Amino acid sequence: MSAEIEIRNVSKSFGSAKVLENLSLSIPGHEFVVFLGPSGCGKSTLLRMIAGLESVEDGEILINGERIDHLPPGQRGVAMVFQSYALYPHMTVRQNMTFGLENINVAKDVIDARVADAARMLEIGHLLDRKPGQLSGGQRQRVAIGRAVVKEPNAFLFDEPLSNLDAALRTRTRIELAQLHQRLRSTMIFVTHDQIEAMTLADRIVVMNNKKIEQIGAPMEIYDRPATRFVAGFVGTPQMNFLDVTAARPGALGLSVACGPKLSIDTAVAPDVAGEVASLGIRAEAVSLAAPGEGQADGVIDVLERLGDRSLAHVRLDDGQMVVANESGQTRLGVGARVALRFDGTKAHLFDGAGKAYHGREAAP
């Protein structure tokens, strides 16, 4: 089962604090959507409004064409998995999974079949007679997911479910969630501030910031064509480099950069940006090191992060700006080395003073 979810002009406040403002979003059935953004951007509040755990102040929420924002949580056809697992400590795993179904009088043979299927899918059959206190964090999270699975909901709602797990377990559980979605083909909405979770799980990412949606798109669309400077800086590790630039003339591809380099970018500069100070964004993989004087800007390596297959060189340019560049994992360069930077301008992004990207804007002939 799956659900088409429609959010129309939804707003939410807590007292005088506005959390969401006139937000609209359509989620097709079977899609895995990730709400991504910093703490306080409203992503968990939006998820809880879909679940019925928070009221809708203005606007409406529909599932499969039916308005549900006035219905209690149990009648919305959704199941939620919480960050804190929210398991009953005095009940066994089996009892935790069956409790909700028993409360709505589902037949015992149906309950047993659903629990058996979910336990097999999540590999927790050997845990059914244990209590939560006897389980590891990863096992508890699988039980919480299993409790949602047995409800056979139209949509699964995940509220930062991996944040309490250690790094290795987080990676494994992330893979298991992707496999679960492939098997069930249900609509899934996943809230996180972790961009790796978003990039690896989502069919589409909804990037949220400051009460609104900044951009919606497939993971690599978000990465390759960020709509705003915020998105460009939030998605990607390390964070995108930003340099102050001034467009040379209307429609020009040549840009004057404060630190000295003359870059050429393949995105047309809108006529109204000529002469304005804007921001040029460029990722570390589009910046390489060269011998002093053989690049577009010179500087000194302040920090060198060795990551195995590659290294990240944090270079302080002569004008004081910091730029992170990609370098070989076997580099012999070290902290204090003087280097030049070479920029691949074809992979650069230009943002105006309001932080909007110029991608796709046509320059005047």
For residue 301, the domain's CATH number is: 2.40.50.100
pLDDT in tens, 161-189: 888 888 888 888 888 889 889 888 899 99
Assigned domain for 286 exists: yes
Per this entry, what is the length of the chain? 365
Domain membership flag for residue 363 = no
Is 306 found in the same domain as 167? no
The structure tokens listed for 15 are: 């007292």
Both 243 and 222 in a single domain?
A: no
Residue 123 — pLDDT band, cuts 50, 70, 90?
confident
Residue 268 lies in a domain: yes
- Tell me: do 266 and 190 sit in the same domain: no
Look at residue 144 and tell me whether its pLDDT is greater than 70. Answer: yes
List of residues 6+ apart from 293 with CB closer than 8 A: 340
Q: What is the mean pLDDT of residues 20-31?
A: 95
The pLDDT of residue 335 is: 94
Q: Are residues 79 and 188 in the same domain?
A: yes
The secondary element (H helix, E strand) that includes residue 352 is none
In terms of domains, do 58 and 103 share one? yes
Q: 198, 230, 262: which is the final residue of a domain?
A: 230
In a domain, 159, yes or no: yes
Q: Which of 248, 252, 245, 269 is nearest to 319 (CA)?
A: 245
C-alpha 196/C-alpha 10 separation (Å) is 28
Q: pTM, whole model, 2 decimals?
A: 0.87
In a domain, 181, yes or no: yes
Rounded Cα–Cα distance for residues 45 and 31 (Å):
20
- 364 lies in some domain: no
Q: Is 246 found in the same domain as 218? A: no
> Are 319 and 276 found together in one domain?
yes
pLDDT at position 302 is 96
Domain assignment present for residue 281? The answer is yes
43, 36 Cβ separation under 8 angstroms: yes
Answer yes or no: are the C-beta atoms of 52 and 59 closer than 8 Å. Answer: no
Find the distance separating the first CA and the last CA of the chain, reported in whole Å.
52
Based on the fold, state whether residues 224 and 91 are members of the same structural domain: yes
User: 230, 257, 287: which is the final residue of a domain?
Assistant: 230
Given a contact cutoff of 8 angstroms between Cβ atoms, the answer to whether 199 and 40 are in contact is no
Shared-domain flag, residues 122 and 188: yes
DSSP annotation of 105: T
Task: Give the mean pLDDT of the chain.
Answer: 87
Please name the amino acid found at residue 175. Answer: I
- CA dist 112 and 215 (Å) reads 43
Q: Which two tokens stand for residue 28?
A: 């097709």
DSSP classification of residue 101: H
Range of the domain at 323: 238-351
Same domain, 197 and 246: no
Q: What is the pLDDT of residue 165?
A: 80
Q: Which range among 111-120, 216-225, 257-266 shows the weakest confidence by mean pLDDT?
A: 257-266
365: confidence class by pLDDT, cuts 50, 70, 90: very low
Q: What is the CATH number of the domain that holds 21?
A: 3.40.50.300
pLDDT bucket at 275, cuts 50 / 70 / 90 = low
The residue among 206, 230, 254 that closes a domain is 230
Where does the pLDDT of residue 346 fall: very low under 50, low under 70, confident under 90, or very high at 90 and above? confident
Same domain, 47 and 195: yes
* 365 found inside a domain: no
- 171 and 247, same structural domain? no
Where residue 277 falls among pLDDT bands split at 50, 70, 90? low
Please tell me the total count of domains within the chain: 2
Tokens representing 149 are 């699975």
Distance CA 297, CA 343 (A): 9
